[in-house]
C-alpha cells in the first residue's frame, strides 16, 4: 500500500523531507505540499513530484486523499497542527519542538490521551543516529558500568537569525541534546544551570549547561550557534568502567600540504541524513501498523524537552541552578498503541 503524505511547510526542513519522500521512501507518495508561500510550495512540489500544492494546513489535514502528515512549518504552529491531526484521526510526523511551552505540550498530551490512540511522532531524529544508538546499546549491554556523565557539544556555523539569543540556544538548539541524552541514559532531569562566556562581538555566545538526573548522573551541554568552522556535534558517555564517544562523521579525509583534514557538514541535514531517512521510514511503519515505533519520541518526550528548555532559559537569566519540576507521566505513554488507559 502506498501511503499518501501531505507535507506542511516547504522551508529548509520541509524541502529536505520532500526529497527524502521522493528518493528514499518508495512506499510513500508526496500528495500535496502546503505552504503560505505558493512559489515555495510549487518549487518543492515540482522538484519532488507532488501532485498538488495548498496553503491551508487544516484543509490539507482533512483531505481524503491524504493518509498522514509530515509537518515542518514554523515552531509556533506545531502544537495547533498536532491538535488538528489528532482531531482528524491522522498520524503526523511533527518536526521538533512540539511546542516551546510545556503547558501547550500538556494540552496536546491531553487531546492525544483522550483520543485513545497514538497520533503524533516527534522529529527528534538523533534517536535514529547510529552513534547514539551504539552508545545506548553499549550502556544497555553493561559494557560501561554505571553511567556517570554524558558530555555534549553542539555547534552550528552561525545562527539562523541575527536576533538569535542565548535563551534561544537553549529552547531551539539544545532540545536535541535534552532529548537524546535522556533517551540514551533512560533518565529524567532534576535540575539545570546555564551560563555563557563573553564574546568579543555582539553575536550570541556559546551557552554551557549542566544538568543533573534523578539517577545521579551529570549531563553537560555546550551549544555554540556561532562556531564558524562547521556543523559539529560530539558526545561522550562516561561510565564507571569504560567510556564511549562519537567519532567525527565524514566519509573521506584529505591528505595534502603536510596536513590531514576531514570536512564538516554545513548543517544538520547532511550529518543526520541517514537518521532522517530511518526516522521517516519508522513513521511509515507507524502509519501502516498503528504501533508507535520503539525508539521514536512522542508527545511526552516533547513535553520533557520543552520543560527542561524553559527551565534552562530561566537558569540562564537567574544564574542559579533551577529545579526541573515535571508533571507525572500519563500511563497512556507506557503503551506503544496508547491504549493503556
Q: Which residues bind ligand ISE (CB under 6 A)?
A: 156, 160, 172-173, 176, 225, 268
Q: Which residues pair with 210 in a beta bridge?
A: 193, 220
Which H or E run includes 209?
A: strand 207-213
For residue 227, the minimal CB distance to ligand ISE (Å) is 10
Residue closer to ligand ISE (CB basis): 58 or 265? 265
Residue closer to ligand ISE (CB basis): 11 or 38? 11
Smallest Cα–Cα separation from 192: which of 172, 173, 219, 216?
A: 219
Residue closer to ligand ISE (CB basis): 67 or 177? 177
For residue 35, the minimal CB distance to ligand ISE (Å) is 18
Beta strands 28-34; 52-54: pairing state:
parallel
For residue 98, the minimal CB distance to ligand ISE (Å) is 13
Residue closer to ligand ISE (CB basis): 100 or 213? 100
Residue closer to ligand ISE (CB basis): 168 or 287? 168
Smallest Cα–Cα separation from 202: which of 157, 166, 231, 174?
A: 166
Residue closer to ligand ISE (CB basis): 31 or 156? 156
For residue 225, the minimal CB distance to ligand ISE (Å) is 6
In the numeric block, the cell 528518493 is attached to 23
**Residue 103: how many CB atoms within 10 A of its CB?**
13
Which own/partner pairs from 158-162 qualify as long-range (CB within 8 Å, at least 24 positions apart)? 158/203, 158/225, 158/226, 158/228, 159/203, 159/204, 159/225, 159/226
Residues 6+ apart with CB under 8 A from 318: none
Residue nearest ligand ISE, CB atom distance: 173
For residue 309, the minimal CB distance to ligand ISE (Å) is 12
For residue 280, the minimal CB distance to ligand ISE (Å) is 15
First and final CA of the chain: distance in angstroms? 31
Residue closer to ligand ISE (CB basis): 4 or 176? 176
For residue 97, the minimal CB distance to ligand ISE (Å) is 9
Residue closer to ligand ISE (CB basis): 86 or 167? 167
CB 103 within 8 A of CB 75: no
- What is the distance, to the nearest Å, from the Cα of residue 274 to the centroid of all Cα atoms in its chain? 14
For residue 126, the minimal CB distance to ligand ISE (Å) is 8
How does DSSP assign 29-52, residue by residue? EEEEEE-SSHHHHHHHHHHHT-SE
Smallest Cα–Cα separation from 182: which of 265, 68, 302?
A: 302
Amino acid at each position: 500500500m502506498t501511503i499518501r503524505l501531505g507535507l506542511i511547510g516547504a522551508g529548509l526542513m520541509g524541502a529536505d523531507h520532500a526529497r527524502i519522500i521522493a528518493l528514499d521512501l518508495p512506499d510513500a507518495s508526496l500528495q500535496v505540499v502546503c505552504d503560505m508561500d505558493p512559489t515555495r510550495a510549487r518549487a518543492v512540489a515540482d522538484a519532488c513530484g507532488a501532485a498538488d500544492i495548498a496553503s491551508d494546513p487544516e484543509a490539507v489535514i482533512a483531505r481524503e486523499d491524504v493518509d498522514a502528515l509530515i509537518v515542518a512549518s514554523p515552531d509556533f504552529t506545531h502544537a495547533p497542527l498536532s491538535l488538528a491531526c489528532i482531531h482528524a484521526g491522522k498520524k503526523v510526523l511533527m518536526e521538533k519542538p512540539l511546542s516551546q511551552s510545556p503547558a501547550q505540550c500538556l494540552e496536546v498530551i491531553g487531546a492525544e490521551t483522550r483520543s485513545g490512540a497514538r497520533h503524533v511522532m516527534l522529529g527528534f531524529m538523533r534517536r535514529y543516529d547510529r552513534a547514539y544508538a551504539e552508545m545506548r546499546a553499549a550502556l544497555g549491554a553493561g559494557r560501561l558500568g554505571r553511567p556517570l556523565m554524558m558530555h555534549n557539544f553542539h555547534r552550528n556555523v552561525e545562527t539562523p537569525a541575527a536576533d538569535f539569543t542565548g535563551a534561544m540556544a537553549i529552547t531551539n538548539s539544545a532540545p536535541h541534546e535534552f532529548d537524546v541524552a535522556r533517551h540514551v541514559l533512560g533518565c529524567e532531569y532534576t535540575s539545570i544551570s546555564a551560563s555563557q562566556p563573553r564574546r568579543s562581538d555582539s553575536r550570541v555566545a556559546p551557552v554551557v549547561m549542566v544538568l543533573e538526573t534523578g539517577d545521579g548522573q551529570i549531563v553537560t551541554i555546550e551549544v555554540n550557534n556561532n562556531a564558524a568552522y562547521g556543523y559539529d556535534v560530539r558526545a561522550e558517555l562516561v561510565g564507571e568502567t569504560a567510556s564511549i564517544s562519537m567519532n567525527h562523521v565524514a566519509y573521506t579525509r584529505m591528505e595534502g600540504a603536510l596536513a590531514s583534514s576531514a570536512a564538516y557538514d554545513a548543517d544538520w541535514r547532511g550529518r543526520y541524513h541517514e537518521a532522517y531517512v530511518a526516522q521517516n521510514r519508522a513513521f511509515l511503519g507507524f502509519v501502516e501498523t498503528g504501533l508507535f515505533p520503539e525508539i521514536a519520541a512522542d508527545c511526552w518526550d516533547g513535553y520533557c524537552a520543552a520543560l527542561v528548555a524553559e527551565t534552562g532559559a530561566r537558569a540562564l537569566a537567574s544564574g542559579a541552578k533551577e529545579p526541573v519540576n515535571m508533571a507525572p507521566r500519563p500511563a497512556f505513554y507506557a503503551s506503544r498503541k496508547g491504549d493503556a488507559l
